[in-house]
Structure 1
Amino acid sequence: MRIHSNDERSTFVLSKLPQYLNGYGGRNTVEFAPNSTVSAVDLTRFINVATVYGPPSSHKVTGNVQNMTYVQSKDNPAISQERIRLQGDNNTVIAMGGSDIDLGAGDSRIIAQGIPKNAKGGAGNDLLSFQFSPLQGIHMAGNTLSTIPATSESGHMDGFEFVQLSEGNDKVEALPTNSEIQVLDLGGGNDTASIIGRSNFALLLGKGRDSVTISAQSTYNNLHIYGDAGPKRIAMELQGQDNSIVTRGSNNDVRLVGSVATDNSAALALGGANNQVELIGDLAVDYHITRDSGAGVIRDDAKRSKPLHVVFRGTLTEDDIKSTLFLPIGTADPVEVRFSIKNENGAGFTDTLTIYTWPGANILCSTEGDGKTFRPN
C-alpha cells in the first residue's frame, strides 16, 4: 500500500503499516487506529510526516529520520516491552513510561510522562524532560531514576546533556556518571540536591524553597547556579574558579567554603532582601549589589588571602542598599575589602556598606570606580 497526499496538513488514520506514505511538503500526522495490530513501526516509511502516533500493539520502533515526533500509545498494554531505536537529528519521543528508548546519533529529546525503563541519549546534544509529566516528584541517584513517592516505577538514563526534572518536589543525590550532562533543571517545587561539583555545569532552580549542597572531590571550574523566585539555601565547597550563584528571590542563605589546596573564586548576585552570606576559608568573592538584589548580611571568617569585592551596580540611593559585613575578633592578617562602582548610565548614587569589627582591626579598604570612599565604622 502506497499513500500520496497533496494536502499540507493531513491526518492519516491507519490500521496497517504502508509501504510508504508521502505527505508532500506539509506537517502531516499519522495515527494508528485503536484496532491496529501493527507490532513493528518503521518510521522511514513516512515521508513529509511530522508526527506519528504509535499503535496500541507496538513492540518495536526504528528509523533514521529527521524532525519527527513519535508519540507512544498510552493504550499499549505491553508498553514495557516496546523498544524504540532512532537515528537522525531533531527527533522527539513522547514517552508514556516503562519503555526502552535509544535516540542514537543526532540532537533529539525525550518528553517523558513517566519513568522510562531505559533512556539513552547517544551522540549529539540530547534532552530528557519530565517538565510536563504528572509525577509528584523524581528521585535521581546517579543514573537511576525513580518516583516520589516511591512506586515500582524506576529506570536508567545515560548520555543526556540536558535534563529537566518535574514541577513537583524532586530529590537529587548524585549526578549521572559516564554522562555528558551540562544542565540540570530542577523545575518548580521544593527541591533538594546534594551533588559533587563538576566543571562547565549549570544547575537551574525553579520557583520554590530549594536546598542545594555542592561538595568538592577535585578541582572544578565554571559551575553556575541560577535560582528563580523563592528562598534558596545553598552550601558550596569551592575548589576552583569562575563559579557563580545568581538568585531572583529574597531570603537566600548562601555558605561558601574555600579549599586551601587551590585558588577559589565565585561571583554572587542574590535577589531581593534579607540574604545571608557566610564566607569560610581562602576564596575570592565578587558580591554584586543592585537596586533589586544583594542587600543583606555577609559573615566572613577573614581567613582569605584574596579580596572580598563588593560591586555596586546601577542607579541606587542610600535607601536602596544597606549591606552589613561582620568580621571575627582576633584576625591577625589584613582583610582586604574592595569596592567598585559600575554605574551603567552615569547617574550618581550613594551606597552603604557597614563593616562591624573591633578596635585596632587590620582592614585594607580600597576603592575602584568613580572615586567614592568607603570607610569601616
Structure 2
Amino acid sequence: MSALRLLAADGRTSGVELRAPDAVTRPDGPLRSRVAYAAAHVVPKPHADNTPGRPADIDWDATLAFRRNVYSWGLGVADAMDTAQRNMGLDAVATRELIARSAEVAREEGGSVVVGVNTDQVDDAHIPLDRIVDAYVEQLHFAEEQGAGPVLMASRHLARAAESADDYRRVYREVLSRASAPVVLHWLGTAFDPELAGYFAPTAAADGSAGWEEAARVLLDIIAEHRDAIAGVKMSLLDADSEVWVRDRLPAGVRMFTGDDFHYVGLIGGDSLGSGGATPASHGHSDALLGAFAAIAPVASAAIQALDADDPDRYLALLGPTEELSRQVFAAPTYYYKTGVAFLSWLNGHQPAFQMVGGLHSARSLPHLSRVVELANAALALERPELARERWHGLLRLNGVDA
C-alpha cells in the first residue's frame, strides 16, 4: 500500500503506511448477541446553500444509500437524532421527510429503524409544560404513523421550563401514556448539548458527570411507573460508571443502549469479556445506539459477529482499536462530532463531497481531521483505502499542504 500524508498542529507533515482493511464479511442473518443501531447522519446536496441558518437541502439518494449500507451489515439505523444534526442544522421540515423516507427504506431492506422524537418543531424558545407535551406527542404520533420506533429525545424546551423533577415526571407521564408501542428514552449529557444541563433533576446540576445519581433515580422512577411503555434507555453521558449503575437497576426486559462513544467496547462486551473488559464489575452488557457505529459499520458488525460466535478475543481485536478513533471524532467540543462522521463517510465513498448542512463541515481543523485519518487507518476503518488517500490528499492540497 502507498503512503498516507498526515498534518500536525504545528504544520509539519509526516507519512504512515496506508493499511488494507481486515477481511470482514457481511452477516448472513440477523446479529444475535447484541441489538445495535448506528445513528446516521444526513448528506446535503453539494451545490446547496449549506451555510448556517439555511434550510437543509438533502441529497436523498446519498443519505438513503448510506442507510441501506448500514442495514447490509446487520445493524439497525437510528435516524433523525443528534447525529443527523437535530438542533444543529436539520430543520423541522427536513426532519419529518427524513423520518418518512428512512422508515420506507427500513421496510424495503427489512431493517430496524428508530427515530428521534423531540419538541424542536416549536420555534419559541420558552413554552409551558402543556405545549411541551403537545409538541412531543405530535412528533411521537408521526413517528408511529411511519412505522418507526420512537426514541424520546431530551428536549431543550423541557430543560428550560422544568423547575423540579416532578415537572419531568409529569411531562413523561403524559407523553408515555399516549404511546401506542414501547419507546426508548434518551438521556443526553451536556458534552453533546450544553443546553440540557440539569435534565431530569434541575436542582441537582446533573451535567452528565457530577450530580448524575439524582437524575438517574428520577429516570428510574419514570421507567418504573411506565414499565410497559419503555423498551429501553439510551445513555449518552460519556461516563461508563453511571451507565453501569443505571443498567444494573433497570427492570427485566428494558434494554440499556449505550450512547457512550468513549467506552463502548467494554460496555457492549460486558461480562462476555471476563477480565478483558474495561467496564466496571457488573452483570450483563449494554446494547448499542451509537454515532460512532455510523463511522465504522463494517468493523462494528464484524465485532458483534465475533460475539455471536463466542469469540471475545476477536471482538476486542476488531472493536478495541476503534475506540481511540471514536474519542478523536468525539473530542471536545463533543457536539461537533458530526463533522468526523460525515468526513469518514466521504473518505469511504458514501457521499460525493465533504459537505454538511449548516456549514458544519468547517467545524473541525485540518490537524484534527488528519488525526481522524491516522486513527481510522490504524483501526482498519478505511473501507476503500486508496480512495480515502486520494480524497484526503486532495483536501490537503486544496488547503495549501503539499501531499
TM-score calculated relative to the size of structure 2: 0.26
| Structure having the larger proportion of residues in helix | 2
Of the two structures, which has the highest relative contact order with CA contacts closer than 8 Å and spacing of 6 or more?
2
Larger Rg, first or second structure (1 or 2): 1
| Structure having the larger proportion of residues in strand | 1
TM-score calculated relative to the size of structure 1: 0.28
